[in-house]
Structure 1
Amino acid sequence: MPQLEVDAARLTYDDEGPRDSEGVPLVFVHGWTADRHRWDHQLAHFSKTRRVVRLDLRGHGESSGAGVRTIDALAEDVLALLGHLEIERFVIVGHSMGGMIAQTIALAHPERVERMVLVNSIGKMAYSRGRALLMAASTLVPFKLFVATNIQRAFAPGYPREEIREYIRASADTPRDVVMTLYGAMRAFDVLDKVGDITTPTLMVHGYHDIQLPLSQMLRMAKAYPDAVVRVVDAGHELPVEKPAELTTALDRFLTDRA
């Protein structure tokens, strides 16, 4: 698998599909404690007809590196990879924290982002007082329990428990420093007052049962976007693995309608 060294990190990525396709490349960015394999279904589908890039963010999956404290820094990693691959213009698809990275890039480099897709993502973390106390308390428990609690909550009711356990085990392999610092980075993320400047055509796909980043928060953000399409799916926060085919169909339609 190809890797790129960037600022004391080694980023693992996939770059597949035809280079001479009519559409610009698709760039997929995963979320907190996840990895590039969240996008397996989309890679298999879209790489038949267009160039597809996905990566493990630093400290996640098969990428090394730690010490990243902000969403902006992760966005710089993504841009460094795209520079290395000589990709100037692209469609970016981000799940959860990956959607925060996508919005950061769209705000900083609107001329490079042809379209954007936000999957279970928002422009600002907002908690009720009770939920804020619960989340603050969760950081005081043992690390593996902290991770397990957050991943368990990410899936809609009824999702197979054994599969959830596998995702918990994989997430717990993410270095503690990476998990906790990026947890703080997500809580500090706030571009809600800036998203009105994002004129990039945007698709927002959200799980109805998402309690990590509730649907109501996404809808609040969507109202501020000048050009946004919203799709709600019967899933939780982990929509890419809960309903991969539905997500692929939504992406396909969005790209086709905007062609």
Structure 2
Amino acid sequence: MSDTASLTLHAIDLQDEDAQGLPLLVIHGLMGSADNWRSHLKQWQGERRVIAVDLRNHGRSPHAEGMRYETMSEDVIALLDRLGLERVHVLGHSMGGKVAMTLARMAPERVASLIVADIAPVTYGHGHDDVFAALERVREGKPRNRREADELLAEHVDSRATRLFLATNLVKGESGVLALRVGLDEIKAGYPDIIGEPDGEGAYEGPTLLLRGDASHYVTNDMLPAVRAILPRVRVVTIKQAGHWLHADQPAAFQQAVSSFLAAHSAS
């Protein structure tokens, strides 16, 4: 167990009256939030209860030091306990995929099946310096509208799609200035842990689906032995014409892959 106290995380919790399946827990990636998953949640809530969590320092959840995967997984377990959920299917994208893998290794009895979206259990190189610089610039620039914020972000990030994604982390404060809702300082301090391997020991023996984008470099073929070492029952599916944000690039294909996998393991 980590020596950092668990936080009370914010979550979106949806369920249609006729939904029958075991609940699905969705965990976003770095600089993401539960809100980014609303369109997918609406698709799946007819099949089962769906819960999308805001990890610490993200979305509407509290800010605190400590971005180790064990720490974030303990936050999620505390959320499951609060919601009275003993066992769920777990889907995690990018950083959230490493949280999901850690959760599955730490508490396999809580995880009926695991879906990992475009991440491997390996250490990655530093790849977010431009993102951190862009968000720092926004914090310093104190924009009063989205146009001004985009201009500040563009000083460090060329991709319009990436800037739009980062802008989901901006909220208007009482002074009328757009402010960051992410815990940027805490995330930067914990970045060495974020790019590192997931925590936990041994292998998760439950059914697992790994979805990767064919235009993404996050899960290359030479990483698959590391994947199979801790996820021995993994099935790898490559989604065509998709990058790292495969759920946004090819939403229909992503939703179908997840729904088919969950249907096949509904009795798990």
Q: Pick the TM interval, shorter chain.
A: 0.7 to 0.9
Separation in structure 1 between the aligned mates of residue 256 and residue 132 of structure 2, nearest angstrom: 39
> SS where residue 64 of structure 1 aligns?
coil
> SS where residue 25 of structure 1 aligns?
strand
Q: C-alpha displacement at 1:10, in angstroms?
A: 4.8
Q: C-alpha displacement at 1:14, in angstroms?
A: 1.1
* Partner residue of 1:237 out of 235, 240, 244: 244
* Residue matched to 1:220: 225
Q: Pick the structure with greater CA Rg.
A: 2
* Residue matched to 1:63: 61
Separation in structure 1 between the aligned mates of residue 219 and residue 103 of structure 2, nearest angstrom: 23
> SS where residue 11 of structure 1 aligns?
coil
Number of positions where the alignment pairs a residue of Structure 1 with one of Structure 2:
235
Query: Counterpart amino acid of 1:81?
Result: L
Separation in structure 2 between the aligned mates of residue 116 and residue 45 of structure 1, nearest angstrom: 19
1:108-130 CA-to-partner distances (Å, cap 9, x unmatched) read 1111211000001111124xxxx
1:8-23 to structure 2, matched below 5 A, reads 9-18=7-16, 21-23=19-21
Separation in structure 2 between the aligned mates of residue 87 and residue 169 of structure 1, nearest angstrom: 33
**Would the alpha carbon gap of residues 7 and 214 (structure 1) be closer, same or farther in structure 2, given more than 3 Å must change?**
same
* Residue matched to 1:184: 192
- Comparing 72-81 with 19-28, greater Cα deviation is found at 19-28
Q: Is the 8 A contact 2:94 2:118 kept in 1?
A: yes
Q: C-alpha displacement at 1:91, in angstroms?
A: 0.1
Separation in structure 2 between the aligned mates of residue 118 and residue 152 of structure 1, nearest angstrom: 27
Query: Counterpart amino acid of 1:11?
Result: L
* Residue matched to 2:109: 111
Separation in structure 1 between the aligned mates of residue 219 and residue 47 of structure 2, nearest angstrom: 34
Q: Percent identity?
A: 28
**Would the alpha carbon gap of residues 258 and 71 (structure 1) be closer, same or farther in structure 2, given more than 3 Å must change?**
same
Query: Counterpart amino acid of 2:238?
Result: V
* Residue matched to 2:254: 247
Q: C-alpha displacement at 1:231, in angstroms?
A: 0.8
**Would the alpha carbon gap of residues 19 and 140 (structure 1) be closer, same or farther in structure 2, given more than 3 Å must change?**
closer
Q: Is the 8 A contact 1:31 1:96 kept in 2?
A: yes
**Would the alpha carbon gap of residues 191 and 86 (structure 1) be closer, same or farther in structure 2, given more than 3 Å must change?**
closer
Q: C-alpha displacement at 1:166, in angstroms?
A: 1.0
Query: Counterpart amino acid of 1:223?
Result: R
Separation in structure 2 between the aligned mates of residue 90 and residue 177 of structure 1, nearest angstrom: 32
Deviant stretches of 4+, over 6 Å: 145-149
* Partner residue of 1:80 out of 78, 81, 84: 78
Query: Counterpart amino acid of 1:177?
Result: D
Structure 2: runs of 5 or more not aligned: 138-152, 171-179
Q: C-alpha displacement at 1:218, in angstroms?
A: 4.6
Q: C-alpha displacement at 1:145, in angstroms?
A: 7.0
* Residue matched to 1:129: none
1:25-63 CA-to-partner distances (Å, cap 9, x unmatched) read 000000111111232232011111211111111211122
Separation in structure 1 between the aligned mates of residue 38 and residue 93 of structure 2, nearest angstrom: 13
Query: Counterpart amino acid of 2:225?
Result: R
Q: Is the 8 A contact 1:41 1:248 kept in 2?
A: no
What root-mean-square deviation, in Å, do the aligned CA atoms of Structure 1 and Structure 2 show? 3.1
Q: Is the 8 A contact 2:6 2:74 kept in 1?
A: no
TM-score by length of 1: 0.79
TM-score by length of 2: 0.76
1:191-224 CA-to-partner distances (Å, cap 9, x unmatched) read 69x56x211100000112223x243355233433
Separation in structure 2 between the aligned mates of residue 221 and residue 152 of structure 1, nearest angstrom: 32
* Partner residue of 1:121 out of 110, 119, 122: 119
**Would the alpha carbon gap of residues 230 and 23 (structure 1) be closer, same or farther in structure 2, given more than 3 Å must change?**
same
